């Protein structure tokens, strides 16, 4: 018993390889309808480098951003994105987009922005958008 305690104390405690589980940010078969110049954001916290993946279809163009909290506040106040951590660029009308990007530790917002002035775009998700370690 003393040997087990000493081993525990010198090793800094037992670590059994706990791994942060994957988190679904947007479920498969979900749809967003975004009016012109509007956005939908999903805020999440990451404790280590993680990837965001998923597949979506777009009707009338879309830009996907990863924003930190200051950048999101700028979008909330003036309706435009002046800086970003990551951007898909403008995704063409009637296209399928495979999202695949990485984020480091911190608080982030995955933001779907409709750059069209007058038209509503619909985003459909063929697969879940997933945040996974690594």
Question: Which pLDDT score is estimated for 112?
Answer: 95
Q: What CATH number belongs to 21-133?
A: 2.60.120
Give the model's pLDDT for residue 35. 95
Q: What is the pLDDT, as a whole number, of residue 18? A: 47
Listed by start position, the domains of the chain span 21-133
Provide the pLDDT for residue 19.
54
Distance of CA 15 to the CA centre of its chain: 29
Q: Which parts of the chain sit beneath pLDDT 50?
A: 1-18
pLDDT of the residue at 74: 84
Return the closest-CA partner of residue 60 out of 103, 113, 21, 22.
Answer: 113
């Amino acid at each position: 018993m003393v040997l087990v305690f000493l081993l525990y104390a010198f090793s800094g405690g037992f670590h059994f390889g706990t791994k942060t589980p994957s988190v679904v940010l947007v479920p498969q078969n979900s749809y967003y309808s975004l009016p012109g110049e509007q956005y939908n954001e999903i805020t999440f916290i990451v404790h280590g480098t993680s990837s965001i993946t998923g597949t979506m279809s777009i009707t009338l163009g879309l830009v996907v951003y990863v924003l930190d909290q200051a950048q999101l506040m700028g979008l909330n106040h003036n309706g435009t994105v002046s800086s970003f951590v990551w951007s898909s660029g403008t995704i063409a009308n009637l296209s399928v987009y495979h999202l695949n990007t990485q984020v480091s530790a911190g608080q982030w917002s995955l933001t779907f922005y409709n750059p069209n002035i007058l038209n509503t775009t619909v985003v459909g998700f063929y697969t879940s958008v997933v945040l996974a370690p690594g």
